[in-house]
Amino acid sequence: MYKKIEKLLYKVEKPGRYIGNEFNMFRKDLDKVNVRFGFCFPDVYEVGMSHLGMHVLYNIKNEVEDFYCERVFAPWVDMENEMRKEKIELFTLETFTPIKELDMLGFTLQYELSYTNILNMLSLGNIPMLSSDRDETYPIVIAGGICAYNPEPLAEFMDIFVMGEGEEVNIELMNLYKEMKKKNYNKDEFLIEAAKIEGIYVPKLYEVKYKEDGTIEDFFPLISDIPKKINKRIVKNFDKGYYPKQMLVPNVEVVHDRAVIEVFRGCTRGCRFCQAGMVYRPVREKSIETIKEYSRKVVESTGYGEISLASLSTLDYSEIEQLINDLIDENEKDRVGVSLPSLRLDSFSTEVMKKIQKIRKTGLTFAPEAGTQRLRDVINKGISEENIVETLEKIFPLGWSRVKFYFMIGLPTETYEDLDGIMDISNLATYTYSKMPSELKKQRVSVTTSASCFVPKPFTPFQWMAQDTIEEFEKKQKYLRKKINNKKVKFIYHDADTSFLEAVFARGDRKLSKVILKAWEKGAKFDGWNEHFDLNIWMEAFNELSINPEFYAHRERSYDEILPWDFVDVGVSKSYLIREDKNSKVEKKTVDCREGCTNCGVNQDFLGGVC
Ligand code: SF4
């Protein structure tokens, strides 16, 4: 097989994407392997290899002697064309085995716009896309990752969804597969047994009934001994949880080319639009000692010159100053730097900044998300203009001059006054810089203000909200483009078309599987890439199937409507989400749960106590 692939490499961009054989790649004797798993990332190599979750799951499976986890990425269109021409099926990077020959394929769902790539990968592997068309001769197809918290739009394609953190449940699933494979394996029997494992959802074992208006009337299991609600899985003891002893070092430059250590999971801030902040609760930290030990191992095994401390909001780590001091002291002699993926200054410490400044000047970012204090109270974003100015006054004299602001447009209750606030904050940054004594101004100040389009997501207090229409978004973008006329401020904004589609699939139901299939048949793929995205293809697919996408994106739901993802228990209770939505309507803030328990329900459900 490799010989055939090799012949194509000189015809395509970045051949390093397709050759595997990286430093720290697992090699196994296939005669001693009982379960072969393909970890499939529905995007190109560079994006997939930057994903920490892939490294963790790749290693944890491969550390089991008779399991073999191999990687599969979406080939870029040039390679796909060549493969189709030469009839080469999609293959793994470890052994160049056609994916059809593996036992299990696991797709990670990181963004909704990757869904057509999943179908494209299955088609390139000559594997039927619909789960009902795959018998025992095909691999079991699984999906997990943040988008799996609403799995329904992909229900027709997947045999299994994994809800929550995958470290433990993936191994349990593979063990079950191994046992059942020994005894005259039958796919349906395996799926029924799998559905009994906590955190596993087998869509074909559940039925949805709809009302005439298209909303859900009922959702129920078709057999008696599987759960009605699926609990997400978490690693309870995160400090002692699994971390790879070695990490793959990519062949080509990837998006994040450095060793990454996850310092904590979860977030306590409770921003009302943020899905990650809700579904990854509760917060669990690794101890400083554990992080130091991992950093030694990962540097030794990869040779990387930089360690990045990852989490949803790393400056919130409870002993961040101590951690950074220790890591710098330990790594300085080997010239290994420490970085934070982006210095989100919502929780700022001058001492930490001074330390980091010694190593590397990463860009500074603030995420006020909304332009006025009123709207920041609505979304529960605990950052004020005073915080920003105070921070900038401390940080500019240390030598920084580039600042990025992240905002969202289309947030609930937004007015044009809130949009003016986006301009005001951007100008405030350039004004604060201009006020500094001239001897401290070493470079020109540059501010980038980015505005994404708000997408209401499942399991957030805004999950019932209507999204702005594409026309409303575009009107607001035009307004801001005109308003932000400060030459030192660069204004960038996200495409409204893709945000609309993201909103449809984020809160979609099973009926949307047909739309994804139809759009793929019409040529949709790499929808997350501007040069490939074409909304017309999608609108044609919706029209041909008489499915109205506005029903999903632009409709406000009532609290008593059964939502497609209601059968998933992420630990945060629906009553908490309703309370938070009501608080947003009266602009009432909720404290960070590190300052006091806000009764979201997660610790009672998952750690057996209160915060
Ligand atoms: S700080 Fe807010 S936006 Fe950031 S992860 Fe936490 S809840 Fe989400």
The tens digit of pLDDT for each residue in 504-542 reads 999 999 999 999 999 999 999 999 999 999 999 999 999
Q: What confidence score (pLDDT) does residue 606 get?
A: 66
Q: Who wins on pLDDT, 338 or 375?
A: 375
Q: Residue type at 218?
A: D
Ligand 1 pocket, residue 197 CB under 6 Å: no
Six-digit token string for 309? 């401390």
d(CA 270, CA 34): 44
Ligand 1 pocket, residue 271 CB under 6 Å: yes
Six-digit token string for 254? 């990837």
Name residue 23's beta-bridge partners.
249
The pLDDT tens digits for 396-409 are 888 888 899 999 99
Q: How sure is the predictor about 607, in pLDDT bands with cuts at 50, 70 and 90?
A: low
Q: What is the mean pLDDT of residues 40-54?
A: 95
Q: How sure is the predictor about 344, in pLDDT bands with cuts at 50, 70 and 90?
A: low
Lowest mean pLDDT among 39-53, 104-118, 346-360, 450-464: 346-360
Name residue 562's beta-bridge partners.
216
Ligand 1 pocket, residue 77 CB under 6 Å: no
Ligand 1 pocket, residue 343 CB under 6 Å: no
Ligand 1 pocket, residue 279 CB under 6 Å: no
Q: What confidence score (pLDDT) does residue 605 get?
A: 61
Contacts of 583 (CB under 8 A, 6+ apart): 380, 461, 589, 590
Lowest mean pLDDT among 95-109, 147-161, 296-310: 296-310
Share of the chain above pLDDT 90, in %: 80
Six-digit token string for 373? 């204090």
Share of the chain above pLDDT 70, in %: 95
Neighbours of 129 (CB within 10 A): 20
**pLDDT score of 359 more than 90:** no
Q: What confidence score (pLDDT) does residue 377 get?
A: 97
Neighbours of 295 (CB within 10 A): 21
Contacts of 537 (CB under 8 A, 6+ apart): 519, 522, 523, 524
Neighbours of 362 (CB within 10 A): 16
| CA of 346, closest atom in ligand 1 | 1
Ligand 1 pocket, residue 277 CB under 6 Å: yes
Q: What confidence score (pLDDT) does residue 348 get?
A: 58
Q: What confidence score (pLDDT) does residue 397 get?
A: 87
Three-state DSSP at 116 gives: helix
Contact assessment for residue 139 and residue 102, using Cβ atoms and an 8 Å cutoff: yes
Q: What phi and psi, each to the nearest 5 degrees, are found at residue 43?
A: -155, 180
d(CA 459, CA 429): 34
Indicate the top mutation candidate among 313, 455, 590 to test ligand 1's pocket, ranked by most ligand atoms within 8 A of CB.
313
Q: What confidence score (pLDDT) does residue 77 get?
A: 97
Contact assessment for residue 349 and residue 324, using Cβ atoms and an 8 Å cutoff: no
Measuring CA to CA, which residue among 398, 276, 282, 272 is closest to residue 343? 398
**Ligand 1 mean position to 538 CA, how many Å?**
31
Cα 474 from chain centre: 26
**Ligand 1 mean position to 401 CA, how many Å?**
25
Six-digit token string for 188? 């349906």
The pLDDT tens digits for 299-339 are 999 988 888 889 998 888 999 889 988 998 888 788 888 87
Helix (H) or strand (E) segment spanning residue 432: helix 416-434
Q: How many residues belong to the chain?
A: 611
Nearest residue (by CA) to ligand 1, atom 1, is: 269
Q: What confidence score (pLDDT) does residue 56 get?
A: 96
Q: What is the mean pLDDT of residues 40-44?
A: 98
Measuring CA to CA, which residue among 165, 123, 159, 126 is closest to residue 143? 159
Q: Who wins on pLDDT, 539 or 394?
A: 539
Ligand 1 pocket, residue 286 CB under 6 Å: no
Strands 264-265 and 284-285: antiparallel
- Quickly list DSSP for 211-264: -TTSSEEEEEESSTTS-SSEEPB--SSSTTS---SS--B-SS--SS-SEEEE-E
pTM of structure? 0.95
Q: What is the mean pLDDT of residues 184-206?
A: 97
Residue tagged 């953190």 (tokens):
165
Three-state DSSP at 289 gives: helix
- Quickly list DSSP for 37-66: EEEEESS-HHHHTT-HHHHHHHHHHHTSTT
Report whether the peptide linkage leading into residue 282 is cis, meaning its omega lies within 30 degrees of zero.
Answer: yes
d(CA 417, CA 411): 13
Q: What is the CA radius of gyration of the chain?
A: 24
Lowest mean pLDDT among 228-232, 448-452, 489-493, 596-600: 596-600
Dihedral sign from CA coordinates of 302, 307, 308, 314: positive
Lowest mean pLDDT among 38-42, 100-104, 337-341: 337-341
DSSP state of 269: S
The pLDDT tens digits for 168-189 are 999 999 999 999 999 988 999 9
Ligand 1 pocket, residue 276 CB under 6 Å: yes
Contacts of 390 (CB under 8 A, 6+ apart): none
Q: What is the mean pLDDT of residues 282-287?
A: 95
**Ligand 1 mean position to 274 CA, how many Å?**
6
Contacts of 374 (CB under 8 A, 6+ apart): 418, 587
351 CB-side CA count, 13 A: 7
**pLDDT score of 110 more than 80:** yes
**Ligand 1 mean position to 269 CA, how many Å?**
6
Q: What is the mean pLDDT of residues 263-287?
A: 95
Ligand 1 pocket, residue 337 CB under 6 Å: no
Q: What confidence score (pLDDT) does residue 313 get?
A: 87
Contacts of 368 (CB under 8 A, 6+ apart): 376, 381, 383, 388, 405, 406, 407, 425
Contacts of 15 (CB under 8 A, 6+ apart): 9
Q: How sure is the predictor about 133, in pLDDT bands with cuts at 50, 70 and 90?
A: very high
Contact assessment for residue 371 and residue 414, using Cβ atoms and an 8 Å cutoff: no
Q: What confidence score (pLDDT) does residue 360 get?
A: 57
**pLDDT score of 352 more than 80:** no
Indicate the top mutation candidate among 146, 264, 267 to test ligand 1's pocket, ranked by most ligand atoms within 8 A of CB.
267
**pLDDT score of 79 more than 80:** yes
DSSP state of 283: P
The helix-helix angle for 512-521 and 115-124 (nearest 10°) equals 60
Measuring CA to CA, which residue among 473, 484, 474, 482 is closest to residue 448? 484
| CA of 267, closest atom in ligand 1 | 6
Q: What confidence score (pLDDT) does residue 331 get?
A: 84
**Ligand 1 mean position to 505 CA, how many Å?**
22
The pLDDT tens digits for 220-246 are 999 999 999 999 999 999 999 998 878
Q: What is the mean pLDDT of residues 453-478?
A: 98
Q: What is the mean pLDDT of residues 561-566?
A: 98
Q: What is the mean pLDDT of residues 85-94?
A: 98
Six-digit token string for 471? 């026309």
